[in-house]
Amino acid sequence: MVKVSLPKVTLAAVAFGSFLLAGCTSPKPWPDSPLYEAPAGNPDWEAPANRKEAMAAMAGHYAHYDVVAYQGETPNGPLSTFIVSYGFTDLVIEEGELVEYDCFCHAEHKANQNMTTTFPDAATRAILPRSAVVEVYEEDGAWNLFRPATPTLIGIGGNPDVPLSMNPGDPLIKDDDDDGKPGVTVFITLFGLIRGEIYIARREIFQNDLTLYSDGSLRGSVRDDSEQLVVGASLGILNAPNNPDQWPDPGLNPILLIPIPEDIDTCEELMAHREAFFPPEPEF
């Protein structure tokens, strides 16, 4: 996503653990929206004249950056989180259509309460979205791209086009991050002292709306309808159902596709160029 979900978003699984924070400092508010402003337009840029030219302008190799905002409730007030995902997107013209291919490298989690979470790169890279034929269309003088949802399973096998199993004992649950534990593992630290693990499976369901800009970038917002199953946890207090809702402000759920050279094609290279390619991560 990705999110998820990228992915990027799998880190949102830990939201319920924050009920332990009751009595601590008040949760911080959301930062101002939008998180990022659109780039200044180049007056010399000639926008595509038709759909074929727009597809040609969009086709390419991109550094992928997206942020998805979530909110859940705790005894200490709302738990607001950002899941920040890094990866690659390739847009390729195939048989007259523009097809999107995505892969993910790394994810970060930001919270407005006293908690930290880690989603290992092995789990992030296990998220393998299906390719998608995207819609390219003109609206109010701008060329836009819509990527439809292509549900993707992580931590469980089966048919991604049917609702996610809600059975923690489902025999299709699998160890996608190869750590010897069911599903994929999220690591949590509360107060800097309490440490635990949550084992989850997800059906990642993301769609993106983007606009082509004169600098060659595609920018827009992410919508998340993902489903999540908590398979288990290292602490009983963490082993509870949870699927926090996306915060419905497009400005707090941005996606940026930045054109990059074709020879930058490994996660290690991408993250080494993080400051050059991407804006600062949001903070509470």
Q: What is the mean pLDDT of residues 16-34?
A: 70
Residue 159 exposure: Cα atoms within 13 Å on the Cβ side: 3
State the pairing for strand pair 218-224/152-154. unpaired
What pLDDT does 17 receive? 43
Tens-place pLDDT, residues 152-197: 999 999 999 999 999 999 999 999 999 999 999 999 998 788 899 9
pLDDT value, residue 24: 53
Asked if residue 7 has pLDDT above 60, the reply is: no
The 10 Å Cβ neighbour count of residue 242 is: 17
Average pLDDT over residues 227-256: 95
Number of residues assigned to the chain: 284
When mean pLDDT is compared across 13-27, 60-74, 80-94, 218-232, the lowest value belongs to: 13-27
- The residue whose two tokens read 């440490």 is 195
- Distances in whole angstroms, Cα of residue 91 to Cα of each of 59, 147, 182, 220: 5, 11, 34, 16
Give the whole-number percent of the chain exceeding pLDDT 90.
Answer: 85
Q: Give the dihedral of Cα atoms 52, 56, 62, 66; nearest 10 deg.
A: -20
Taking 90 as the threshold, does the pLDDT of residue 112 lie above it? Answer: yes
> Residue 18: which pLDDT band, with cuts at 50, 70 and 90?
very low
CB atoms within 10 A of CB 198: 27
- Judge if the upstream peptide bond of residue 34 is cis by omega within 30 degrees of 0: yes
Residue 46: band (very low, low, confident or very high) from pLDDT cuts 50, 70, 90: very high
Diameter over CA atoms, the chain: 61
Task: Give percent of the chain with pLDDT exceeding 70.
Answer: 91
Average pLDDT for the chain: 92
pTM for the full predicted model: 0.90
pLDDT in tens, 199-230: 999 999 999 999 999 999 999 999 999 999 99
Of 21-30, 134-143, 233-242, where does mean pLDDT reach its minimum?
Answer: 21-30
pLDDT reported for residue 26:
84
- The residue ranges of DSSP E strands in the chain, in sequence order, are 4-5, 8-9, 60-74, 77-94, 97-111, 115-118, 132-133, 135-139, 142-147, 152-154, 184-190, 194-204, 206-212, 218-224, 227-233, 245-246, 254-259
